[in-house]
Amino acid sequence: MTGIITNAGFRDIFEIARGDLPRGSMYDFRYVRPPLLVRRRHTVGVPGRIDHRGKVVQELDHDAVIEAGRILTERGVDSVAVCFLHSYANAEHEKAAKSILAKAFPHLSVSVSVDLVREYREYERTSTAVADAYIRPILGRYLTDLEDRLREGGLDGSFLIMRSAGGAMTSEIARVSPLLTVFSGPAGGIAGTISLGEATGRSSLISFDVGGTSLDACVIVDGAPTEVYEAEIESLPIRIPVFDIRTIGAGGSTAATARTVSSKCHESSGLVAQEPPSSSIRLTCQLAGGSPLGTERDRRCHDPVAYRWVVTNTDGPYPGTDRTEAGVRLSEASPGGDGGTRSRGCGGRGVARRRLPIVRFSRS
């Protein structure tokens, strides 16, 4: 469970956020905000203030920091994000709070915003610190267990983890900076696309990654992928360097069903694009066992250029629905054709999209 320690009087920064809706849900009256990673009762404010020039206006109350740590640990919190106003200009208070908490509560995992991003905008710094605090203990336990098992199995080489902006890092760094791994899967696909381009003499490409739950595109120009310094996970902004990966459609495990449900789905003529667990979908071009109508990957694998459904499996169709019709309707929930892929992937980048070949692959 994750908590937040911030300035007294500002404990609602994370909950208020920017006060707007995600771009794709601006006119959706049924939009429901995803649950926050931190409950309000797990956010505690402490006295202490630094102004925008980095001047200490009010000294940090060390006893209040200890009391905040006690309150949070008694409520079951095992990881804390510390973010104070204007700490980008002066990190003194955040570093002091980290030191105090480490001594008083050695079992408590502490993430401070200045270790991750030293930029103004309190909400973005808070959300970045919260995301780091949320996944740090989970990823730390996972990597420790995985490495121990690998060593027991005879691994005597380096244990490296892919970074979100390409390259690799040791497991020790990944435990300390878990946010650098959040987009490592798509980053690996982009690295593979670059290698393929080098092998075929093409330096400018568009990677077309059909993942388990989303379809992601990234523009590669002269052998280098475009980069950004802010990403989003479930509308939660995270300030880290990542490849400029744009989600442009449904993933390979998105299944078509013949019933209409009320959820975060694309409704099309009575059919809904749903996302079952990726583990239940086989990486083949056969119909998935849990979906009589098939999945997005089925459609793309059979005819990835025309984006039309080609049925080779002869199992009985879903009652009242022809599989070809289902495939066409599923297409409506996804970007259509190479033109749509290039347009969404290159939009706003000043890249002549018609000249870029598309490399399609699936990681899941």
- Please tell me the distance from the alpha carbon of residue 120 to that of residue 20, in angstroms, as a whole number: 19
With b for 16 or more beta-carbon neighbours within 10 A and e for fewer, the 190-209 pattern comes to bbebbeebeeeebebbbbbb
**pLDDT in 10s for each residue of the chain, 364 residues:** 999 999 999 999 998 888 777 777 778 888 888 888 999 999 999 999 999 999 999 999 999 999 999 999 999 999 999 999 999 999 999 999 999 999 999 999 999 999 888 888 899 999 999 999 999 999 999 999 999 999 999 988 888 898 888 788 898 899 988 988 888 888 888 888 888 888 888 888 888 887 777 788 888 888 888 888 888 877 788 888 888 888 777 666 555 444 333 333 333 333 333 333 333 322 222 333 334 445 555 555 444 333 333 333 333 333 344 444 444 444 444 444 444 544 554 555 555 555 678 888 776 5
Q: Which pTM value belongs to this model?
A: 0.71
Site of tokens 């809706």: 21
Q: Taking Cα atoms as reference points, which of 119, 5, 132 lies closest to residue 73?
A: 5
- Please tell me the distance from the alpha carbon of residue 96 to that of residue 60, in angstroms, as a whole number: 8
Query: For the chain, which residues make up each domain, given as ranges?
Result: 2-142, 184-250, 255-332
- Please tell me the distance from the alpha carbon of residue 356 to that of residue 261, in angstroms, as a whole number: 38
Measured from the Cβ of residue 173, the count of other Cβ atoms closer than 10 Å reads 15
- Please tell me the distance from the alpha carbon of residue 203 to that of residue 223, in angstroms, as a whole number: 5
The whole-number pLDDT of residue 207 equals: 85
The whole-number pLDDT of residue 358 equals: 83
The whole-number pLDDT of residue 312 equals: 31
The whole-number pLDDT of residue 206 equals: 87
Q: What percent of the chain has pLDDT over 70?
A: 69
The whole-number pLDDT of residue 352 equals: 54
